[in-house]
Amino acid sequence: MTATTFASTSLAERISTCTDAAYRIRRGVLEEGAAQGEGYVGQALGAADILAVLYADTLRFRAADPEWADRDRFLLSVGHYALLLYAALAEAGVIPREELTTYAADDSRLPMSAMSTYTPGAEISGGSLGHGLGLGVGMCLGLRAQGRHDQRVFTLFGDGELNEGSTWEAAMSAASWQLGNLVAFVDLNGIQADGPTQQVLDIGSQEERWRSFGWHTQRVDGNDVAALISAVDAALADATSTGQPHVILCDTTVGKGVPMLESREKLHFMKIDQDEWPLCMDQLQAGYEGSLAR
């Protein structure tokens, strides 16, 4: 199976497909967290809509052949979001859904931080933060050298990674080399290990900074599937005319879809007690069913 750009599908159908995928991805995240009793669940729930749009609507791939030469690449720079990537790969049919319950277990193909040597469909090992964009630049240059001008590279990194100088070196390089097939998503959830992102290091206006680095820049509600689809469409359409790299700044809510987690104190590693996992799943399902009824 290959995901396409859905040129023959209506916008309403695309939104419905991605909304359903986002719900199943969030279920997968909770299943993984419950099996291990821990994980970066809050961030994964918050960024689930981004990966739903990518894996259900945007990426060109073959589930049965993760190494397909003509595939698009998705690079998870924030390696500790691995349970989100695994849930998306299960939704896409790359790995069996029942394997999600092995998350972070001994000898599992799904370690707590994503590693390309273990997991089919994981393009990079992302445990050391600040390298995803640079790797994306390198992949784009490699594809260009091979004459593969139609393949796209997508990467997701967190707002805490904007503290890394390597991120901005990559940003300058991408603009200089006119890598129009590079699309970066920044998860603006406002937290990192040392506290609120803006208090740790305030870098000012995100939009102004990225534009000053030569990037086509959009900022959207990262939990709005329709807005994400529109932003991706605009980025890919622009790529053919300007050659600019693209950044989509995504404002997300930690714990999105599970009210008891959305309202909890926003911590880098959110503590969820064993008896709370079923409650989380019930709230997720109730919210999804409620949205269908509207």
Question: Quick one: pLDDT at residue 255?
Answer: 94
User: Measuring CA to CA, which residue among 66, 64, 23, 65 is closest to residue 45?
Assistant: 23
How is the chain split into domains, by residue range?
11-293
Region of 201 please: left (phi>0), alpha (psi -120 to 50) or beta: beta
**CA–CA dist 121, 108 (Å, integer):** 15
Structure tokens belonging to residue 243: 């050659």
Question: What mean pLDDT do residues 261-276 have?
Answer: 83
Question: Quick one: pLDDT at residue 5?
Answer: 46
Residue 239's pLDDT band, with cuts at 50, 70 and 90, is low
pTM of the entire predicted model: 0.94
Question: For the chain, what percent of residues have pLDDT higher than 90?
Answer: 76
For 219-229, the pLDDT digits (tens) are 999 999 999 99
Question: Quick one: pLDDT at residue 268?
Answer: 67
Residue 2's pLDDT band, with cuts at 50, 70 and 90, is very low
Q: Give the H or E element holding residue 225.
A: helix 225-242
pLDDT at 115 over 70: yes
Question: What mean pLDDT do residues 43-61 have?
Answer: 97
Q: What is the identity of the amino acid at 188?
A: L
pLDDT at 1 over 50: no
Any idea which of 25-34, 186-195, 255-264 has the lowest mean pLDDT?
Answer: 186-195
Question: For the chain, what percent of residues have pLDDT higher than 70?
Answer: 95
Which range, 109-113, 204-208, 268-272, 283-287, is most confident?
A: 283-287
Alpha-carbon Rg of the chain, whole angstroms? 18
Class of domain 11-293: alpha beta
Question: What mean pLDDT do residues 263-276 have?
Answer: 81
Please state, rounded to an integer, the average pLDDT across all residues of the chain.
91
Q: What is the identity of the amino acid at 119?
A: T
Helix/strand/coil for 72:
coil
